């Protein structure tokens, strides 16, 4: 049962990342609504959404592939640790990369 939850979580992550990027659902990204108009003009949201899509897609693939490998090896309990590490790692990576998408203001 836990295996199917991990597979479903991986698929949801992949679909969520693709939806944010391709359907331009930027308001699904935390903090987007808090930006005022001038801050939104100086932030490259399209490139940031691409980063979110890539991170979610890779995280989803990691969950699916590693859960499959761990089930095959009989170590399903390690998949809980893998899920936690994948999500925390993805959040930390995106938080670290966010400054790259702020554009310089012309004075």
C-alpha–C-alpha distance, residues 27 and 105, integer Å: 23
Q: What is the pLDDT of residues 90-105, one digit of tens each?
A: 888 888 887 777 765 5
Tell whether 8 is covered by a domain: yes
Tell whether 47 is covered by a domain: yes
Q: What is the pLDDT of residues 78-91, one digit of tens each?
A: 877 887 888 888 88
Q: What are phi and psi of 32, to 5 degrees?
A: -65, -40
> Are the CB atoms for 42 and 105 separated by under 8 Å?
yes
pLDDT, residue 6, reads: 84
Tell whether 107 is covered by a domain: no
Tell whether 40 is covered by a domain: yes
Domain, as residue range, for 53: 2-101
Q: Domains in the chain: how many in total?
A: 1
pLDDT, residue 86, reads: 84
Tell whether 106 is covered by a domain: no
Q: How confident is the model at residue 16 (pLDDT cuts 50, 70, 90)?
A: very high
């Amino acid at each position: 049962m836990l295996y199917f939850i991990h597979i479903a979580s991986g698929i949801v992550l992949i679909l969520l990342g693709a939806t944010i990027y391709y359907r331009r659902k930027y308001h699904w990204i935390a903090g987007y609504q808090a930006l005022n108009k001038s801050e939104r003009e100086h932030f490259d949201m399209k490139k940031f959404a691409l980063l979110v899509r890539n991170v979610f897609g890779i995280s989803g693939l990691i969950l699916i592939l590693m859960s499959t490998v761990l089930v095959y090896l009989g170590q399903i309990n390690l998949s809980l640790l893998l899920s936690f590490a994948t999500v925390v790692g993805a959040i930390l990576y995106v938080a670290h990369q966010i400054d790259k998408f702020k554009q310089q203001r012309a004075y």
